[in-house]
Structure 1
């Protein structure tokens, strides 16, 4: 029997942020195609969630490097 590992909340947040980012991009494209300026809000949402995704990915990589003993120098 294999031991189950505890789910990583950082990874889960990154996946959710990426999904919301992709959905916001699609919503922005549809809004602009219909001539609505509401697409600006969707573009801002996509920017916010892409930053959240990138931050989560970088945090996870830093945690993995620290666990392995390979600390970044810069």
Structure 2
């Protein structure tokens, strides 16, 4: 018997990409207003871009089930 494979939702990489774009926009607005809170948004954008890249590569490696 083979172990059950865990399926990756199709839109997970897309959702992470959308959140990344929104975090970048929030960082730009925050820095434009002179707030240092933009650093948090930049860190969130970095995290979500890594998540999007990971889920995209994982999905394509499995052959886009």
- How big is the alpha-carbon RMSD for the aligned residues of Structure 1 and Structure 2? 1.6
The one-character-per-residue Cα deviations of 1:32-54 (angstroms, maximum 9, x if unpaired) are: 00000000000000000000000
2:27 counterpart residue number: 28
Matches within 5 A, 1:1-74: 9=9, 11-64=10-63
The runs of 5 or more residues in structure 2 that have no matched partner are 1-7
Q: Which has the larger radius of gyration?
A: 1
TM-score, normalising length: structure 1: 0.73
Aligned residues: 58
TM-score, normalising length: structure 2: 0.83
User: Which 4+ stretches in 1 moved above 6 angstroms?
Assistant: none
d(CA) in 1 for partners of 2:43, 2:12: 19
Higher relative contact order (CA 8 A, sep 6+): 2
